Amino acid sequence: MTKPLTKTQLVAALAEEMGAEKKAAAAALEAVTTIITREVSGGGAVTLPGVGKIYCRERPERMVRNPATNEQIKKEADKVVKMTIAKALKDSVNA
């Protein structure tokens, strides 16, 4: 397994793919990140074509176990960010 791309490496690859400068690629990446964060934190979802769908899901209140003491604790309801991977990406990985 290889290491994931760092932000710097991702910006460089994006700039090369776009045929643009790194500043423009960094601005584009920042804009996409801001839009995704705003939409998902507001309860919406974002679909990245060919990659997947990012959305927020509410989890109900539940009982959890403290592994150190085996004590049962009530955990309040919360939200979690999820991502469903697109079929096209799954197929390209398994091809």
For residues 31 and 51, state if they share a domain: no
Range of the domain at 53: 45-95
Number of domains in the chain: 2
- In this structure, which amino acid lies at residue 6? T
- Looking at residue 34, its pLDDT comes to 96
- In this structure, which amino acid lies at residue 5? L
For residues 90 and 72, state if they share a domain: yes
Tens-place pLDDT, residues 35-71? 999 999 999 999 999 999 999 999 999 999 999 999 9
Tens-place pLDDT, residues 71-84? 999 999 999 999 99
Write the DSSP symbol of residue 95. Answer: -
Classify 1 as helix, strand or coil.
Answer: coil
Q: Which of 88, 14, 8 is nearest to 49 (CA)?
A: 88
- Looking at residue 86, its pLDDT comes to 95
- Looking at residue 67, its pLDDT comes to 92
Q: How far apart are CA 58 and CA 41, in angstroms?
A: 12
Mean predicted confidence (pLDDT) in 18-36:
95
For residues 37 and 51, state if they share a domain: no
For residue 82, the cross-strand partners are 55
Q: How far apart are CA 7 and CA 43, in angstroms?
A: 26
Residue 53 belongs to a domain with what CATH number? 4.10.520.10
Position 15 confidence tier, pLDDT thresholds 50, 70, 90: very high
Strand order in the sheet with 52-59: 45-48, 52-59, 78-85
For residues 34 and 64, state if they share a domain: no
- Looking at residue 95, its pLDDT comes to 85
